[in-house]
Amino acid sequence: MFPRRLVGAAAAAAAAAVAAGAVPRGGGLLALLANQCRFVTGLRVRRAQQIAQLYGRLYSESARLVLLGRLWRRLRGRAGHVSAVMAAVAGFVWDEERIKEEELQRSIDEMKRLEEMSAVFQSPGVERHPPEPKSQTEGNEDPGGKKAAPWEMVMDKKHFKLWRRPIAGSHHYQYRVFGTYTDVTPRQFFNVQLDTEYRKKWDALVIKLEVIERDVVSGSEVLHWVTHFPYPMYSRDYVYVRRYSVDQDNNVMVLVSRAVEHPSVPESPEFVRVKSYESQMVIRPHKSFDENGFDYLLTYSDNPQTVFPRYCVSWMVSSGMPDFLEKLHTATLKAKNMEIKVKDYISSKPVEMGSEAKATTPSSERKNESSCGPARIEYA
């Protein structure tokens, strides 16, 4: 409970007092040890208060939050009450964790790049399909600017194409899906992905899905999602930040999500925490947001913390991805036929790109509002 050096110093002082005959042996030794521990602990606490006052004079409030956030991230891997207390004090630092405009724009640019690589995209009356996998070996870079591995075709169907590529420094793959739907509108498909309350109804794997905190100016949100995994694996839980944008001038929608850590959602022994996760969904209407027909590009990766070989995980993803997207499509058709009401996130969209700020709000809306959930794939 106490640091080893503190207990050692107190024990040494107590032993010296006993040797000098200041206190009797037995119970008196324990009492003296406790008093010494309290005394040294009090000195440490006062010292910490002095340091806090010093930093309060030297740094602004935002700078202090950043420092606390970094300290929390260094301590969060350690067990015990200290890291929990530090996590609660530090809070969630939006300045470091919110999804930036650059992340949204990167996803949109990738869709544009694919469109430019295929002349067929320019012909609205012709069946749409993405470029051949060989042409995708050029210009592939990860967010760090490093050359990424080429995409490998995994599945090639009429309205659904799936690629994968290895993630550098790991045994996992990143996946890319290109698909087309012609019987639902982009608005409906987009709204169904974002509506967490509706997700709980059409996705039987969901155990829990709720908004934890919102950055009210940028529109970023932190969500906690718990999902069943196939038997005999434990259920997985994700804590992630997501942000979406609707650009009506350029006729495109984008939804970006990635894993974060939040002090109000510590790891639970009941679930396996997935700490590595990214998803980017870009939707390009064939005509408008409210007319049937659109293309979508989904790029996805995560580390589900399984003990299965990579080829087994790859097989699960490759076989599960079409099933999930078909469930999403079916749920969209039901929403289109007004069998269930879905919130319109385009009409009540967050602040436009270019207005990132520091204002945030905790999720008092968890129970009161159908909140947003990202385009997450829970089958890997």
Question: pLDDT tens, 111-128?
Answer: 999 888 764 444 444 455
Give a yes or no: residue 13 inside a domain: no
Task: Please give the pLDDT value at position 163.
Answer: 93
Total of domains in the chain? 1
**In the 8-state DSSP scheme, what is residue 352?**
P
- Residues ≥6 apart with Cβ < 8 Å to 371: 196, 197, 210, 211, 221, 223, 363, 365
Q: In sequence order, what are the beta bridge partners of 226?
A: 208, 237
- Cα–Cα distances in Å, from 274 out to 20, 31, 127? 57, 46, 38
Q: Which ranges of the chain would DSSP assign to H, the alpha helix?
A: 4-19, 27-58, 61-75, 81-90, 94-97, 101-117, 186-194, 196-202, 310-336
Amino acid code (one letter) for 138: E
CB-based contact 118:129 (threshold 8 Å): yes
Query: 309: pLDDT confidence band, cut at 50, 70 and 90?
Result: confident
CB atoms within 10 A of CB 67: 14
pLDDT at 373 over 50: no
Domain enclosing residue 299, as ranges: 95-120+181-337
Give a yes or no: residue 142 inside a domain: no
Give a yes or no: residue 230 inside a domain: yes
CB-based contact 274:303 (threshold 8 Å): yes
Give a yes or no: residue 295 inside a domain: yes
pLDDT at 81 over 50: no
Give a yes or no: residue 103 inside a domain: yes
pLDDT at 248 over 70: yes
Give a yes or no: residue 248 inside a domain: yes
pTM, whole model, 2 decimals?
Answer: 0.68
Give a yes or no: residue 326 inside a domain: yes
- What are the pLDDT digits (tens) for 174-216? 999 999 999 999 999 999 999 999 999 999 999 999 999 999 8
CATH code, domain with 318: 3.30.530.20
Rounded to 5°, the CA angle 244-279-364 comes to 50
Cα 284 from chain centroid (whole Å) = 24
Helix (H) or strand (E) holding 178: strand 173-181
Give a yes or no: residue 162 inside a domain: no
CA distance 114 to 18: 80
pLDDT at 258 over 90: yes
Helix (H) or strand (E) holding 174: strand 173-181
3 state SS of 339: coil
